[in-house]
Structure 1
Amino acid sequence: MPGPLDGIRVIEMGQLLAGPYCGQLLADYGAEVIKIEQPGVGDPLRHWGREKANGKALWWPIAARGKKSITLNLREERGQQIVRDLVADADIMLENFRPGTMERWGLGWERLHELNPGLIMVRVSGYGQSGPYSKRPGYASVGEAMGGLRYVIGDPSTPPSRAGISIGDSLAAMFATLGALAALRHRDQTGQGQVVDSSIYESVLAVMESVVPEYAIADFIRERTGAFLPNVAPSNVYPTKDGHMVLIAANQDTLFQRLCEAMGRPELAEDPKYVDHVARGDHQAELDAIIAEWTGTVDAEPLMDLLIEHSVAAGRIYRAPEMLDDPHFQARESIVTVPHPEFGDFPMQNIFPRLSQTPGEVQWVGPELGAHNQEVLGDLLGMSAEEIDDLRANDLI
């Protein structure tokens, strides 16, 4: 079944995660994504993350799934002209180079818009396309720090921590995708393309809830709090008898009452120290200690059964093994297997969110470098075999 973006052509330039993850999301829903990579080198993400013995990275098959790979030397005029030829019949140009790079190559917005007035140019960068910091190198870690996320992650006794994934890059890519879809809607109405400017630090800032007015109006700065949120209790990770961890979120009054029933301590729900949300927040540490003492007497599996029986929101702390074994993951096909030419069945996360009529599909794993040179240059642009051979002989592809 065609995805909802079937018929949309995306030219993806750039590398690593922030831009390419946007391309992955668009490909997931059926867009034709033509990824341009440096000849002989390719996207560094081909070698990032855990590798198998043959040097093949296990991240690349996911990050480039559903994309077509061509090689092109963008520092040469002939390579730049091929990009312009591709853009003339494309819907979206996606790039995440440092601002100014595309302009130096003759591929800036004004030039491309002149070639294709309906083109949408999605630009992902650390600090955005304008402002005094725009030309600085922009990595996700810096954007996470500047956007406020790093300051609130971790234990208060330690320096700021980081999430175990490149969350700043992923957020910038998601907002870039949102912008691309909104710009496509606008083009449907007007016929005109536009620039989508997605910065990492602003994408992080966008999910920082009310930290800005909390300071500006209430003179309050959120601090690192570890595994819990201040004044939201009980909502924490608790130990079990067999050495596992269970997250229990029972901060709502009715949920807390059900938790107390499960604990065999119904009187706690009537105790003035725990009777409502405010009271529990005021006695958070004391309440967490009571719950931890109880969970420490029960193994994880029966503890989960008991909490589910009492309709208490709770869950195990999952790693990949638990995800692969979980029946809910399996029933919803949250993880799918895609054929890989070397690894066989390759498990990866499915496409989210789910659309009932046009859900999209993971068509193939990340391709080999330049795997689609002939298809794109020959079939799409109409180059002859001699022209393609000449490009190869001159290190342009």
Structure 2
Amino acid sequence: MSDPSMPLAGIRVLDLSRVLAGPICTMILADLGAEIIKVENPDGGDETRGMKPPEAGGEAHFYLGVNRTKKSVAIDISTPEGRELIHKLAAECDVLVENYRKGVMAKHGLDWEAMRDRHPHLVYCSISAYGRESPLADLPGFDPIIQAESGMMSLNGEPDGEPMRHALAIVDTMTGYYSTIGVMAAIMTQKETGRGQFVDVALFDVALNTLTNVGMYYFTSGKVPERRGNGHPTSVPNGLFQASDGPFYIALANQRLWKRFCEGVIDRPDMVDDPRYRTLSDRIARRDEITAFLRDLFATRTRAEWLARFNKAGVPGGAVRTVDQALESPEAAARDMVRTVAHPTAGSIRMVGSPLKLSATPVTEPVAPPLLGQHTDEVLAELLHLDADALATLRKAGAIG
């Protein structure tokens, strides 16, 4: 049972999602105090359990990254007994989250229409590639495909290179965030009316929404945005530069920062009022000239020397770190962003913590992602009052693992 002071204390979520977007959504809900019952196929469970190496204690890194603080219940929904267990659990839950292809849940009688009739209180969140009402609703879709189709990939990469996908599953991740927002909004209405609703979240929709200012660039100018690599279309200087010993990134988004940069970082106060560089438009017109000048200048000092100047002047600049450098940084430690938890088979593991910092109701202490079916008997006994004989019968029928 979660801490009653937590924001989502008392909320129970039946999680039929797998892989990334859905598990990210339910992990955030778990961080905020909801009880997450992760339903997995007894034969292998969540597909990410098999995405090895690397692994810890037999558990894949991919799975471990997005399933903390959940309970795993192994139920085979292809069996009549398994489907009935889902209905019985749904009666005890506030939310159901699933991300199967269209038609899969309907085939098992577990789609929104069936669940709405039997469990009108239930918030039903369906995550899919293109949305349940779309010309492409029947098609599978994965993060890099959606990056390509949404225009996102066309923006990534060097100007004279090929379009490039983002190295992270950014669409899946953002979809997990938006699904969380949708679920919490529906819970608020549920608490007022006693009724649930359908929350339909599509990776494609989220990817389009993530275009933000780039989308508005097209709408307002009628022009197709171009790839600029590490540059920025409306900010100069902005980009990646090399110090004498390594790369760093700078971003000067306004006139105030340009003044600080010239006076406090590069010791060129004359450039502030130089008519060639006075306004942002002037600097954009002379992008190549300014970039070449700074490239030569930055190569004369170490990265630490330059960043010390940036910091003292209050100008945004940061070292280009590797993943290990970022996770082991003093900033990560100060923000409590790397947590160590006890794991049933790995002994202890480190994982990235929640970024949410709430003063009155801090997020729950993380618990290691569960082993497959670790909580099957516990959950079914506690919520459905099934005794040992009933559990043995279900196990013999192949309904549970």
TM-score over 0.5 (shorter chain):
yes
Q: Is the 8 A contact 1:231 1:282 kept in 2?
A: no
Q: Is the 8 A contact 2:79 2:398 kept in 1?
A: no
In 2: Cα distance, 1:227 partner to 1:160 partner:
13
Which of residues 221, 224, 241 in structure 2 aligns to 1:221?
A: 224
Question: For 1:33-59, what per-residue CA distance to the aligned partner results, in whole angstroms no more than 9, with x for missing partners?
Answer: 001111131111112254138643123
Give the equivalent residue in structure 2 for 1:169: 172
Check 1:210–1:328 CA distance in 2 against 1; reply closer, same or farther (3 A cut): closer
Does residue 348 of structure 2 align to residue 349 of structure 1?
no
Q: Is the 8 A contact 1:69 1:368 kept in 2?
A: yes
Aligned-pair distance for 1:236? 0.7
> Superposition pairs for residues 234-249 of structure 1, below 5 Å?
234-242=237-245, 244-249=246-251
Question: What SS class does the counterpart of residue 382 from structure 2 fall into?
Answer: helix
Give the equivalent residue in structure 2 for 1:253: 255
Aligned-pair distance for 1:167? 0.8
In 2: Cα distance, 1:381 partner to 1:285 partner:
68
Give the equivalent residue in structure 1 for 2:102: 99
In 2: Cα distance, 1:213 partner to 1:308 partner:
32
In 1: Cα distance, 2:285 partner to 2:349 partner:
49
Which of residues 145, 154, 157 in structure 1 aligns to 2:148?
A: 145
In 2: Cα distance, 1:154 partner to 1:344 partner:
41
- Opposite residue 252 of structure 2, the aligned amino acid is A
Which of residues 171, 178, 200 in structure 2 aligns to 1:197?
A: 200
In 1: Cα distance, 2:36 partner to 2:219 partner:
43
In 2: Cα distance, 1:50 partner to 1:286 partner:
47
Question: What SS class does the counterpart of residue 173 from structure 1 fall into?
Answer: helix
Give the equivalent residue in structure 2 for 1:314: 317
Q: Is the 8 A contact 1:238 1:292 kept in 2?
A: yes
- Opposite residue 316 of structure 1, the aligned amino acid is A
In 2: Cα distance, 1:253 partner to 1:260 partner:
11
Give the equivalent residue in structure 2 for 1:382: 385
Deviates more, 1:25-34 or 1:48-57: 48-57
Question: What SS class does the counterpart of residue 281 from structure 1 fall into?
Answer: helix
Question: What SS class does the counterpart of residue 232 from structure 1 fall into?
Answer: coil
Give the equivalent residue in structure 2 for 1:36: 39
Deviates more, 1:77-86 or 1:104-113: 104-113
In 2: Cα distance, 1:255 partner to 1:53 partner:
46
Question: What SS class does the counterpart of residue 303 from structure 1 fall into?
Answer: helix
Give the equivalent residue in structure 1 for 2:363: 360
Give the equivalent residue in structure 1 for 2:72: 69
Does residue 90 of structure 2 align to residue 87 of structure 1?
yes
Aligned-pair distance for 1:345? 3.8
- Opposite residue 275 of structure 1, the aligned amino acid is R
Q: Is the 8 A contact 2:92 2:383 kept in 1?
A: no
Give the equivalent residue in structure 2 for 1:283: 286
Give the equivalent residue in structure 2 for 1:371: 374
In 2: Cα distance, 1:94 partner to 1:257 partner:
51
Aligned-pair distance for 1:281? 1.1
- The number of residue pairs the alignment matches comes to 396
Question: What SS class does the counterpart of residue 342 from structure 2 fall into?
Answer: strand
In 1: Cα distance, 2:258 partner to 2:98 partner:
49
Does residue 18 of structure 2 align to residue 15 of structure 1?
yes
Give the equivalent residue in structure 2 for 1:294: 297
Check 1:342–1:295 CA distance in 2 against 1; reply closer, same or farther (3 A cut): farther
Deviates more, 1:338-347 or 1:62-71: 338-347
Q: Over aligned residues, Cα RMSD in angstroms? A: 1.7
In 2: Cα distance, 1:111 partner to 1:87 partner:
12
Aligned-pair distance for 1:376? 1.1
Give the equivalent residue in structure 2 for 1:160: 163
Q: Is the 8 A contact 1:37 1:43 kept in 2?
A: yes
Check 1:164–1:6 CA distance in 2 against 1; reply closer, same or farther (3 A cut): same
Check 1:311–1:144 CA distance in 2 against 1; reply closer, same or farther (3 A cut): same
Structure 2: which 5+ runs fail to align?
none
Aligned-pair distance for 1:156? 2.1
- Opposite residue 300 of structure 1, the aligned amino acid is R
Check 1:363–1:325 CA distance in 2 against 1; reply closer, same or farther (3 A cut): closer
Deviates more, 1:87-96 or 1:348-357: 348-357
Check 1:259–1:343 CA distance in 2 against 1; reply closer, same or farther (3 A cut): farther
Q: Is the 8 A contact 1:231 1:280 kept in 2?
A: no
Question: What SS class does the counterpart of residue 65 from structure 2 fall into?
Answer: helix
In 1: Cα distance, 2:229 partner to 2:193 partner:
49
In 2: Cα distance, 1:264 partner to 1:211 partner:
34
Check 1:321–1:131 CA distance in 2 against 1; reply closer, same or farther (3 A cut): closer
Aligned-pair distance for 1:32? 0.5
Structure 1: which 5+ runs fail to align?
none
Aligned-pair distance for 1:128? 0.3
Check 1:268–1:319 CA distance in 2 against 1; reply closer, same or farther (3 A cut): same
Which of residues 15, 18, 24 in structure 1 aligns to 2:27?
A: 24
In 1: Cα distance, 2:294 partner to 2:141 partner:
43
In 2: Cα distance, 1:269 partner to 1:121 partner:
57
In 2: Cα distance, 1:267 partner to 1:50 partner:
55
Q: Is the 8 A contact 1:144 1:200 kept in 2?
A: no
What TM-score comes out, normalization by structure 1 length?
0.95
Deviates more, 1:223-232 or 1:204-213: 204-213
What TM-score comes out, normalization by structure 2 length?
0.94
Check 1:10–1:247 CA distance in 2 against 1; reply closer, same or farther (3 A cut): same
Instruction: Could you list the structure 1 runs, at least 4 aligned residues long, displaced by more than 6 angstroms after superposition.
Output: none
Question: What SS class does the counterpart of residue 64 from structure 2 fall into?
Answer: helix
